[in-house]
Chains A and B, each alone.
Chain A
Amino acid sequence: MSERDLPTGRRLGQVVSGALSKGLTVRLEGGVSVEEMAVGRYVVIHGQRRTFFGMITDVRLELAHPHLGVAPPDLSDPFIAAVVQGTSLYATLEVLPLLVLSETGAPQPVKTVPSHFAPVAEATEGDVQRVFGPEDIHHFYIGQPLDMNVRVCLNLPRLVERSSGVFGKSGTGKTFLTRLLLIGLVQKSPAVTLVFDMHNEYGWAGTSEDHGRPVKGLKQLFGARVAIFSLDPSSTRARGASPDYTVEIGYHEITADDIDLLQDALGLSPAAVETVRRLARHYGDDRWFEAFLATTPEERADLAKSQGLNPGTLDVLHRKLENRLQRLPFLKPRVTESAVQRILEYLLKGIHVVLEFGRHHSLDAYLLVANILTRRIHERYVDLTERAMGERNAEPRPLVIVIEEAHKFLNPRVADLTTFGTIAREMRKYNVTLLVVDQRPSSIADEVMSQIGTRITCLLDDEKDITAVLAGIPNGQALRNVLARLETKRQALILGHAVPMPVVIRTREYGSEQSYREIMAATPGQRDGRHSLEFLQRLADP
């Protein structure tokens, strides 16, 4: 069926001016009330040869003559009101063209604008459905556009191809959205995920945003396809789950870069950080932590003298490492088994790993553990990928690492030091990408932000954060109004790589029995974490 045969929505007006770089101005027709319009809604523009898809980004009231503002017509008179509305008084829409529908209806990037006075109509549900496509093996249903009963589906292979981000100020549903995304990633398995679950929200029961009642976590939905690793097994058990593995970190795994990352969290001076580097050189990278913690005050005084270090700084550093890190129960002088190795084993088998922090959800613990584990896992992935390229074997499964409070890892000061910064910059070269969850996108380094392919954004009201999220998106600034006017709950703007065009969604319902049934019904049958040959081929050629 050609697009011309499809029913069209209500006519709203016509294009009167515009530019590809700035968006189109559409004059509303007399019979259409400006109060029915809303930013974020879709319109279809029927050009002479092509059909364009656009989003309303602003609504404006206009006067045909400035004098009308000084002496307004008598709108209490129904006749005068009917005459002047739409003629002397009219409204315009700013419309951002997003897509062109080709003859076959396939969406393509927009490279021109419709001709003068092209008619503009409301997008129908059929129009929107054609753009986003149905839910299938690659596409995960995440929500519905405003005022429409249409499923917006994310292209998951494209989502994991680059790093992605979930942003929004606190309390706007980031966790809820992230949980949904993780469900999609486990369900359709375009990649394995490693979740650093700071607040124990994803593995076992989390709480719903709406009523605070418990909702099912990944393990409850997907069983053996998800493993819960825990830093605090007693906390995990107290919440009714049994951890698949208890993670312990050896002292030898803590490097000087890790401490640098913790500079703010531990309140260290730059001199203290520099001292750590000197200590690492002195004792060796894998011994310094244990050796330094074991020093007596006298030994430290000698050390200061022999290494030319400030004795005061050494003492402060010792005290902070002892009080803040050494007391963390999952840090052990000796560990029998490497957590990194176990995590990798699971990931390479296609089992998604959620690392719960239990009660150790302090920022220092989170930063330290996430950074240590990610560094090692990334090293192994680089190794595996390079070996696969050399030997023409299958590369390791794409991995998505999920981190919260992402700006602590990716702010301009530390982005160069952390593995997260490296992963974000090198993109998918080594099959590892990030899913960052953050409330301060403006604090994330620009070069990292520019590599974030898909941005899922709940309400943001800080100007800097809005600018950061929209940076690098074509005509992104036109979406400012849309972003600043999201509702505080269950609404998000999705932009970038995984969607054919920016879309404002009401997040899909999650937490009811019905929602669990729907998710299970859409889940392919493999429950053992392995994938069919056909699936692996698709991964190789998405």
Chain B
Amino acid sequence: MDGRIGEVIEATTTEFIAESYVLHQAPSLGALVRVSDREYDIYALTGLVSTTSIDPGRRPVARGQSESSPEALYAHNPELASLLRTEFHCLIVGHRPVGAPAIRHYLPPRPPQIHGFVYPCTPEELRAFTSRLDFLPALLEAPPRFPVDELVAACLRQASRVHPDPLAFCLAAGRRLALLLTDQPARLTALLARLKPEGGEP
């Protein structure tokens, strides 16, 4: 394995769904991931994670009443790992043609291919991607099936940790948001409360 965590099972120009190789092991909310093929590195933010039954007609049933812990439940029912799957729904936020020096904060010409491998981004990649905040305007306009503001805040919190001065990064991001959300002060206030550096773990 080369660090890949899943593969694309559904893709459109703006977003894709990937299935995690390991049940319950999707990237965290707001995490930056990359799908690479021969032409492009496509960057996306993890926006919605779901774990469901493989068969849409059969919902899982509760079976842990007599088990000591959820872990014990899975240990006693090893088939569960094959009956369930974890998917993560990602919002495409940028790309880099192979060989190009800089990341472009806009959509690639085409979506990632089905079965494209999904990799988590390294701290260096995350720092490079968030060294400019030009992806924020499009992100704030993401479709409402994503928890947009939570996604923005989680992404920025994670990014702040890979920058040399996390507080300065959060302040710059906050100011950018304040200008972008001039006409939505209540939304801004809620977003800033989530972005605060001491606001807890992402």
Residue numbers of A with Cβ under 8 A of B are 30, 64-65, 67-68, 71, 73-74, 77, 79-80, 82-84, 86-88
Interface residues of B in 156-202 (CB under 8 A from A): 167, 170-171, 174-175, 177-179, 182-186, 188-189, 192-193, 195-198
7 residue pairs bridging A and B, Cβ less than 8 Å apart: A64-B185, A68-B185, A73-B189, A79-B170, A83-B174, A83-B175, A83-B177
User: Beyond A83-B175, A84-B178, A87-B179, is A77–B189 a contact (Cβ under 8 Å)?
Assistant: no
Tell me which of B167, B182, B193, B197 contacts A65 (CB under 8 A). Answer: B182
Report Cα–Cα, A74/B190, bound state, in Å: 11
Residues of B near A88 (CB, < 8 A) are: 178, 182, 185, 188
- Known A79-B171, A79-B192: A87·B178 in contact at CB below 8 Å: yes
Task: Return the chain B residue nearest A73 by Cβ.
Answer: B189
Chain A residues positioned under 8 Å from B188 (CB to CB): 84, 88
Chain B residues lying within 8 Å of A77, measured Cβ to Cβ, are 196
CB-based contact B183/A65 at 8 Å? yes
Tell me the B136-152 residues at the A interface (CB within 8 Å): none
A27 to chain B, nearest CB (A): 12
User: In the complex, A39 Cα to B83 Cα: how many Å?
Assistant: 74
When C-beta atoms are compared, the residue in chain B nearest to A87 turns out to be: B178
Q: A86-B175, A87-B175, A88-B178 are in contact. Are A80 and B196 (CB under 8 A)?
A: yes
For B184, the chain A residues whose CB sits under 8 A away are: 65
Min Cβ gap B26→A in Å is 30
Considering residues B171, B186, B189, B198, which has the most beta carbons from chain A within 10 angstroms of its beta carbon? B189
**CB proximity of B159 to chain A, nearest CB, Å:** 16
Q: Which residues of A contact B179 (CB under 8 A)?
A: 87
Interface centre among A30, A77, A80 (most CB of B within 10 A): A80
CB closest residue in chain A, given B183: A65
Q: With the chains together, A87 CA to B172 CA distance in Å?
A: 11
Smallest CB separation, A63 vs chain B (Å) = 9
A67 close to B185 (CB less than 8 A)? yes
Asked whether A65 lies within 8 Å of B171 as measured between CB atoms, the reply is no
Q: Do A71 and B197 contact each other (CB < 8 Å), given the known contacts A80-B192, A83-B174?
A: no
Could you say which residues of chain B place their CB within 8 Å of the CB of A30? 175
Closest to B171 in A: A82
Question: Which residues of chain A come closer than 8 Å to B192, judged between CB atoms?
Answer: 73, 79-80, 83-84
Contacts of B170 in A (CB 8 A): 79
- From A68, A82, A83, A87, name the one whose CB has the most chain B CB atoms within 10 angstroms: A83
Distance from B131 Cβ to chain A, minimum over Cβ atoms (Å): 19
Contacts of B189 in A (CB 8 A): 71, 73-74, 80
Give every chain B residue within 8 A of A87 (Cβ-Cβ): 175, 178-179
Nearest chain A residue, comparing its CB with the CB of B172: A83
Residues of A within 8 A of B177 (CB): 83
Query: What is the CA–CA distance of A30 and B177 in the complex, to the nearest angstrom?
Result: 14
Known: A79-B170, A80-B192. A71 touches B186 (CB 8 A): yes
CA gap between A65 and B181 in the complex, in Å = 10
Q: Are B171 and A83 within 8 A (Cβ)?
A: yes
B179 to chain A, nearest CB (A): 6
Say yes or no: B196 contacts A79, CB within 8 Å: yes
A169→B76 CA distance, assembly (Å): 96
Chain B min CB distance to A65 (Å): 5
- CB contacts (< 8 Å) of B193 on chain A: these are 80
A68 to B182 CA separation, bound complex (whole angstroms): 10
User: Residues of B contacting A74 with CB < 8 Å?
Assistant: 189
A contact residues around B178 at 8 Å (CB): 64, 83-84, 87-88
In the complex, A428→B88 CA distance in Å? Answer: 88
CA distance A421 to B182 in the complex (A): 59
Within 8 Å CB of B186, what residues of A? 67, 71
Give 5 nearest A-B pairs by CB, closest first: A83-B174, A87-B178, A64-B182, A67-B185, A65-B185
